[in-house]
């Protein structure tokens, strides 16, 4: 009886390691795995994990900011009494802070921006390593509504509500120490101007403008300009 089979395989090479589809897939898998391992090593060397950054929170009575190290050792504390009593931006104007209102840590974990409310509102920058304070802005009337950090931690924007009742947006360049403003006449009109997102350019933001009378809304990309 004759048994019919498939084509005869060359001697010693029944599964060719160079041409087999399974071998090809294995090589691709090993290559991809190698790239992932290399990429993970580069990322691990180039940036700290989020868990390495300190966390920041207000005390329940809002009388202090707590900076808790990543290793959960004894936290540092910034009490209201440590804030400056006289403004560096407006000499002769004195603070009487009653409580901390808002605090938000920068993406790189280096700073925390905060607002302290009282007769005047102080907006300050806290260095989380040295606990040094830098005065960013002074609101003689009104309150800070929200803080927004750029992804690179170089620029800060914030919504605030002045006595006029119309929301506005300001900014701050961390490296130069310059205050930044919206370069449009809407900041003086009967409209709410609120922060939406960061744009692709330096100091570029997307803002939403809401007309109080017509309730019409539109978004606009603007580049914040320094204080003159």
pLDDT tens digits, 10-38: 344 333 434 444 444 455 444 443 433 34
147 and 135, same structural domain?
no
Q: CA 150 to CA 154: how far, in whole Å?
A: 7
Residue at which a domain ends, from 92, 107, 140: 140
Residue at which a domain ends, from 75, 110, 140: 140
Place of tokens 């539109």: 218
161 and 108, same structural domain?
no
In a domain, 15, yes or no: no
Q: What is the pLDDT of residue 183?
A: 87
Statement: residue 107 has pLDDT above 90: yes
173 and 107, same structural domain?
no
Q: Which domain holds residue 194?
A: 141-228
Mean pLDDT value of segment 165-176: 95
Q: From the CB of residue 110, how many other CB atoms can be counted at a distance below 10 Å? A: 16
Q: What is the pLDDT of residue 228?
A: 65
Closest by CA to 160, choosing from 183, 143, 138, 139, is: 143
In a domain, 43, yes or no: no
In a domain, 7, yes or no: no
pTM of the predicted model as reported, rounded to 2 decimal places? 0.75
In a domain, 38, yes or no: no
Residue at which a domain ends, from 140, 174, 194: 140
> What average pLDDT does the chain have?
81
Confidence of residue 190 (pLDDT cuts 50, 70, 90): confident
Structural domains in the chain (count): 2
188 and 214, same structural domain?
yes
Confidence of residue 141 (pLDDT cuts 50, 70, 90): confident
């Amino acid at each position: 009886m004759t048994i019919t089979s498939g084509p005869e395989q060359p001697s010693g090479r029944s599964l060719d390691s160079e041409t087999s589809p399974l071998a090809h897939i294995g090589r691709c898998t090993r290559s991809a795995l190698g790239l992932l391992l290399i990429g993970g090593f580069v990322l691990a060397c180039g940036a700290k994990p989020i868990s390495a950054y300190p966390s920041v929170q207000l005390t329940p009575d809002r009388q202090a900011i707590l900076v808790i190290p990543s290793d959960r050792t004894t936290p540092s504390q910034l009490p209201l009494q440590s804030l400056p009593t006289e403004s560096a931006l407006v000499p002769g104007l004195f603070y009487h802070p009653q409580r901390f209102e808002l605090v938000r840590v920068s993406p790189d974990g280096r700073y925390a921006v905060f607002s302290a409310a009282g007769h005047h509102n102080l907006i300050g920058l806290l260095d989380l390593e040295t606990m040094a304070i830098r005065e960013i802005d002074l609101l003689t009337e009104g309150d800070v509504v929200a803080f927004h950090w750029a992804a690179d931690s170089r620029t800060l924007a914030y919504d605030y509500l002045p006595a006029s009742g119309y929301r506005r947006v300001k900014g701050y360049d961390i490296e130069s120490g310059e205050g930044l403003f919206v370069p449009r006449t809407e900041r003086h009109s009967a409209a709410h101007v609120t922060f939406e997102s960061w744009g692709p350019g330096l100091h570029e933001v997307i803002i939403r403008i809401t007309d109080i009378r017509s309730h019409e809304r539109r978004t606009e990309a603007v580049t914040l300009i320094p204080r003159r």
